[in-house]
A and B are shown apart, each in its own frame.
Chain A
Amino acid sequence: MLAQLALPIAQGGGPVIPTFQRGSDCVRENRQFCWDWFSSHWSSTFQPRLIEHIELTAIAVGIGFVIAFVAALVAYRWDWAVNPATAVFALVYTIPSLAFFQLMVPFTGLTRLSAEIALVSYTLLILFRNILTGLREVPADALEAAQAMGLTRRQTLWRVELPLAMPAIMAGIRIATVTIISLATVAAFIGVGGLGEPIFNAIQTGFKTQFIAAGVLAVLLALVTDAVLVVVQRLLTPWARAKVG
């Protein structure tokens, strides 16, 4: 009985100072899902975590894309760079995230920087492979035509190769983004916020509503983002859509 009474105090991610508010019956009995609790904690607990989650993901995919893009261009131009780059990116990719986040802490502390270093690292292999594959699969005819039209190497890259590689590049961004949304929940383990935070808090309290609310929000974020990126991909590559239709 005591533990149940303590529940509404400990959860919520707010101050730990007991407020002795009276929770609803649903909250006190820790029923499956308490809408009243969720709606009253949306603006204090869930909305800020959702925004943090989006920020963590956007920064990681953004920086990861710049690094992977440069690496892929280098590897596209100079073939010998492919294997070492792939090996390094694959190596960091295999580190379990729970360990990676913790291992950054001695160097950069319990900060967003630690989380972002790990998250960026996980994007590199996916983005690098997709950008490189996209560039390599540009038809030789298109390159020849570009050359015949007198385009310089730089012009060929920006006007022919990259647009034709766009479907593969977008597919990479899509996979990388949903992967990072997933991994960013784990980043809360080192206290950088995001939707993982209410999950880790719920593990301390056993409060079901919080488990389900945070989990469902993270799943929705991932699915909605995935769907939005599919639409963006279609808008960026109208010719691919014409072929299908």
Chain B
Amino acid sequence: MQSIIDAFQFIGDNLHFMLTKTLEHLALSGAAIAVSLVIAIPLGVTLGHLHKGSFLAINASNIGRALPSLAIISIGIGILGIGFINVMVAMVVLAVPPMLTNAYVAVDGVDPDAVEAARAVGMSPRQVLWKVEIPLALPLMFAGIRTGAVYVVATATLAAIAGGGGLGDVIVNQASYGTEGVIAGALMVTALAFLVEGLFAVIQRLLTPRALRHEEGPVELLAPVIEGT
């Protein structure tokens, strides 16, 4: 217990330093999440809309889940060298699969009756996609986005080993910052992961049409998504 108190003391004493590291961590994670979203969501939604490529889309997350994060970072360094962009690319490789699979499954699994009804009232395929399929798919789609985002925030800790900066810098340098520094860094990473999870939950709520909001149940537990840190 004392060590937890020491850790908070450490954060208080080194507030500026910890905030700088947190911002580095967020910059790296944010960039990786943004790139992953741009790749995974349009692809998953398109495939789901067309009901094609289920093998690719569903197995993406099975394979993605099996990929060891440090190994991916290592291969990334081997090919691209050390640096921000390269660590980010490795994290994109890890974050795209859950986002892609969930986006596909969500859109693919939209109630066919709803789609048919939308067509019957004269909606164009584009309207069906934007006004029916995507809104109905949002909760499941966001479950994937949240999983991927939290995964990135957690994995960004390992990026420090590869010179990516962020809170991992504090955690790996026990020699400089002591046990309290390690715990402080760990606490900040965990808090950040929950914060990012919460942020996407809020975005999900804002994007969900009011009429659908009441249906939104807890899609999954909060903690279990922090995998492979």
Query: Which A positions have Cβ atoms within 8 angstroms of B?
Result: 32-33, 90-91, 93-100, 102-103, 106, 125-126, 129, 175, 178-179, 181-183, 185-186, 189, 195-196, 199-200, 202-203, 206, 208-212, 214-219, 222-223, 225-226
Q: Beyond the given A125-B224, A182-B68, A185-B70, please list 7 additional residue pairs across the A-B interface where CB-CB is below 8 A.
A: A95-B190, A98-B157, A125-B223, A179-B227, A199-B74, A219-B75, A226-B66
Once the chains are docked, how many angstroms separate the CA of A217 from the CA of B75? 10
Interface residue B179 (Cβ < 8 Å from any Cβ of A) = yes
Are B157 and A96 in touch, CB under 8 angstroms? yes
B22 lies within 8 A of chain A by Cβ? no
Q: Is B229 an interface residue (CB 8 A)?
A: yes
Complex Cα spacing A196 to B154, Å: 18
A181 vs B70: C-alpha distance in the bound complex, in angstroms?
Answer: 10
User: In this assembly, does B171 line the interface, its C-beta being within 8 Å of a C-beta of chain A?
Assistant: yes
Judged by a CB distance under 8 angstroms, whether B143 is at the interface is no
Q: Quote the shortest CB–CB distance from A70 to chain B (angstroms).
A: 20
Given A102-B174, A103-B182, A182-B228, the answer on whether A90 and B223 have CB atoms closer than 8 Å is yes
A185 touches B161 (CB 8 A): no
Q: Which residues from B are CB-within-8-Å of A100?
A: 186
**Residues in chain A near residue B228, CB distance under 8 A:** 179, 182-183
Pair A93/B224 contact, Cβ less than 8 Å:
yes
Q: Say whether A94 contacts B193, CB under 8 Å.
A: yes
B183 within 8 A of A: yes
B75 touches A99 (CB 8 A): no
> Is B69 an interface residue, CB under 8 A from the partner?
yes
Contact B190 A96 (CB under 8 A): yes
Residue-wise interface mask of B (97-127) relative to A, using a CB-CB cutoff of 8 A (1 in contact, 0 not): 0000000000000000000000000000000
Shortest 6 CB-CB distances between A and B: which pairs? A211-B78, A99-B186, A218-B71, A215-B74, A182-B68, A215-B75
The reply to whether the CB of B77 lies closer than 8 angstroms to some CB of chain A is: yes
B7 to chain A, nearest CB (A): 10
A208-B78 contact given A90-B224, A96-B154, A178-B66, CB 8 Å threshold: yes
Q: Which residues of B contact A186 (CB under 8 A)?
A: 70, 158
Question: When the two chains form their complex, are residues B70 and A196 in contact, meaning their CB atoms are under 8 A apart?
Answer: yes
Given contacts A95-B190, A181-B68, A211-B78, contact A226 B62 (CB under 8 A): yes
Q: Which among B66, B68, B161 has the greatest number of chain A C-beta atoms within 10 A?
A: B68
**CB contact list, B40-63 vs A, under 8 A:** 62-63
Q: What B residues does A179 contact at CB under 8 A?
A: 65, 227-228
Is B221 in the interface zone, CB < 8 Å from A? yes
Shortest beta-carbon distance from B105 to chain A in Å: 16
